[in-house]
Structure 1
């Protein structure tokens, strides 16, 4: 598939890398000459210097033959215009990153984004709220991925002494889950310095880093298996001075007993207090210990710093943890420092740009394309791919067709007719089914070949 990306920032670059590696022809449009030179040297794609709002520039990027436009620059208006131009060139799929999408979705709004050429809106605030809410739903998780708007979850946990499943074989655990299906798709053991695709005979040990796939309906049972059901969030504290903080409070208030917002901007705090029902709003600096003690941070189950200032987000999260809150998250706009932030004590460091890129990849995958996403520090990738007519993977049950590849890759989830399921050995993948496959990067092309249409 031929894809044009408008915007060479972190989001555009990450999309270009994954889409190109997935076998798609990618062209990227970026106005900054220096950035273009960097991208042309680093990526094996067509890089065009210019504006995504320029027909001439888009033509140089091959818009006339493209099947998809991804407008992900930092300027809403430019992204909308790029989609409008792409519509005139007959590009069927046109996604725009729009921070102010609420203006267009507000009750009474007469503006139709689709009429302006946008077929899909990616709203950064909405994405961040969903990502952080998922983390809050799954206590103790190192990382959480979701697919098809949260129907399937991939959760990473470090196994700690005392967890009910320590010392058990994965095969034995499966017998304890009843009607719920769980599938361990990755296991990292630091003592051995390696990561592998687990099998039923693997025995879980304290310290193991395990990634498990399950449906949203099975979340409660998953937490029970880990002995974490009593750690569900009952009190949450959010800090921030923007729309993300307000929307996150609204989401958390729908299922968390006590939600508190700390806003350091007096004017914004007043507006937030008027809008938020059932949320305590405090005006103050969350990097001051007295402010956190005023809101009883030591009794909080979850703390999230989601403002536009990375330093303040990280510092307030670290301070909250030092005061006794075990689960803290912070939005970081400095991706090069994210690993350091985790090492010094922030449980969850969220990169908005990476989250947006993942959201777009998930949407793309539902459009009959193969896309990849790396699982942090595991040397594994998650590939969403659709089974083609007559493909090898549809030739029989998984325990037969997958036997030669069981240590190279694993099918973590299957989507059929809008319904998600965790596969078993007897599962037969049909043409048109979508699968989430966890695999080592060197095996991507081999696995994609299994799903390729054959006549």
Structure 2
């Protein structure tokens, strides 16, 4: 597959690195030569120093033969124009990064498609949805729903109160246990566990289960004393913050702390009257105390500085907040945030890359999620008629090392998978895999 990525910024560079490892024909273009130079020579891709809106430049890059053209520059208008030109020159499919939520409305989908913009991606909106999922439950690090919630993935950190520490997995229960442990993140290592593996203190454990068994997972993880989230404090009135409060459940009360007075005035126009806007510095401990940090269950740091966000979350933790979320766009800081026990990290690059990566898959994949801490991914495949995965029980399917099936949805019902399970046509299968292996798994489900 020939893929052209326009824009060597954070999203474009991260995506190019990921796709280069898949043995695809990748071309990364940018009009800023310095950005391209930062990639070095360690990746199997071609860089071209041209403007993505130059017709001659697009022709030179071979856009006419492109299977996928992705425009992710910081400029929305440039992305839209580049996609229109690329489609006109022969690119089969185009994706544009946008900043305007209105463009995503269903009534405009055909309008843009006719003009050559086939798909739109709004990273801030995707990040906001992940933040809301993260704060719904104070004891969970990561939470994702599949098939409307028929099956859920839960990531939570093991503390001293966990009931399942130091017990081999084969001893935790037989075939009828209501969960499947799909992965364990231990230090810098991600483990696809086997029966003789054990869960250790400070592991982040990823479970798949159905909603009715979430209280049971909470009990065995020793998290029953964690307060339910009712009050949320957000530091930084960014576009992500605006989207986040719009997706918050009705029962949550939210405050936004923003240091820029003009932005505070603008926020009062953008968000609901129920959201309190506070002009001040979210790092000011006296201000946080005055605004009720002691009675706040979740603190979300969304400034443009990763360092500020991490430190603010640490301060909130020390002041008794049980759930913190930090926006960390510098990938190098993610492992540091984990070592400092920041509850949840949001990274727009990973989120956007997961959604774009999904578009290049041949299989019917309705969901691809990146596990930020675990350097791994979760994908939801729809099984085609006669697919290889249906010809034997799961234990004999020959899935590659580093991949495991976490569960499936059949006729709308979530089902946990064992080695003796036989997967059927039209099942929605949730697969956990390491290091962007999803492309290698397509052949099992097609």
Q: TM-score range with shorter-chain normalisation? A: 0.7 to 0.9
Preserved CA contact (<8 Å) 2:280 2:287: yes
CA RMSD of aligned residues (A): 3.9
What is residue 303 of structure 2 aligned with on the other side? 307
**Distance across 2 between alignment mates of 1:146 and 1:340:** 27
Preserved CA contact (<8 Å) 1:237 1:304: yes
What is residue 170 of structure 1 aligned with on the other side? 169
What secondary structure is seen at the aligned counterpart in 1 of 2:126?
A: helix
Cα 1:325–1:446, aligned 2, differ >3 Å: closer, same or farther?
closer
> Mind listing any 5+ residue stretches in structure 1 that lack a counterpart?
none
Query: Are residues 1:270 and 2:265 paired?
Result: yes
Aligned partner of 2:422 among 409, 416, 428: 428
Question: Post-superposition shift, 1:212?
Answer: 2.2
What secondary structure is seen at the aligned counterpart in 2 of 1:114?
A: helix
What is residue 185 of structure 1 aligned with on the other side? 182
> Which string of whole-angstrom CA distances, capped at 9 and with x for unpartnered residues, describes residues 124-163 of structure 1?
2211111211221343444556767877654433322222
Cα 1:450–1:127, aligned 2, differ >3 Å: closer, same or farther?
closer
Cα 1:184–1:49, aligned 2, differ >3 Å: closer, same or farther?
same
Cα 1:25–1:422, aligned 2, differ >3 Å: closer, same or farther?
farther
> Which string of whole-angstrom CA distances, capped at 9 and with x for unpartnered residues, describes residues 43-68 of structure 1?
21122221111222222332212222
**Distance across 2 between alignment mates of 1:51 and 1:433:** 44
What is residue 79 of structure 1 aligned with on the other side? 79
What is residue 233 of structure 2 aligned with on the other side? 237
Question: Post-superposition shift, 1:78?
Answer: 1.1
**Distance across 1 between alignment mates of 2:359 and 2:218:** 28
What is residue 444 of structure 2 aligned with on the other side? 451
Preserved CA contact (<8 Å) 1:46 1:61: no
> Which string of whole-angstrom CA distances, capped at 9 and with x for unpartnered residues, describes residues 20-49 of structure 1?
323432222221223334436232112222
Query: Are residues 1:209 and 2:204 paired?
Result: yes
Aligned partner of 1:410 among 391, 404, 408: 404
Preserved CA contact (<8 Å) 2:378 2:430: yes
Question: Post-superposition shift, 1:115?
Answer: 3.8
**Distance across 1 between alignment mates of 2:36 and 2:6:** 12
What is residue 125 of structure 2 aligned with on the other side? 126
**Distance across 2 between alignment mates of 1:75 and 1:365:** 27
Q: Which aligned pairs between 1:48-447 and structure 2 lie closer than 5 A?
A: 48-99=48-99, 101-104=100-103, 112-143=111-142, 153-166=152-165, 168-171=167-170, 173=172, 181-188=178-185, 195-214=190-209, 219-231=214-226, 232-256=228-252, 258-274=253-269, 275-365=271-361, 368=364, 378=374, 392-402=388-398, 408-414=402-408, 422-430=416-424, 435-439=429-433, 444=437
**Distance across 2 between alignment mates of 1:253 and 1:159:** 27
Normalised by the size of structure 1, how large is the TM-score? 0.81
Preserved CA contact (<8 Å) 2:365 2:379: no
What secondary structure is seen at the aligned counterpart in 2 of 1:424?
A: coil
**Distance across 1 between alignment mates of 2:279 and 2:273:** 16
Range that drifts further, 165-174 or 75-84 = 165-174
Normalised by the size of structure 2, how large is the TM-score? 0.83
Range that drifts further, 241-250 or 342-351 = 342-351
Question: Post-superposition shift, 1:98?
Answer: 0.5
What is residue 47 of structure 1 aligned with on the other side? 47
Preserved CA contact (<8 Å) 1:28 1:61: no
**Distance across 2 between alignment mates of 1:56 and 1:418:** 50
Question: Post-superposition shift, 1:400?
Answer: 2.4
Structure with bigger RCO (C-alpha 8 Å, 6+ apart): 2
Cα 1:416–1:17, aligned 2, differ >3 Å: closer, same or farther?
farther
Preserved CA contact (<8 Å) 2:79 2:97: yes
Preserved CA contact (<8 Å) 2:68 2:360: no
What secondary structure is seen at the aligned counterpart in 2 of 1:277?
A: coil
What secondary structure is seen at the aligned counterpart in 2 of 1:411?
A: strand
Preserved CA contact (<8 Å) 1:68 1:94: yes
Range that drifts further, 211-220 or 368-377 = 368-377
What secondary structure is seen at the aligned counterpart in 1 of 2:113?
A: coil
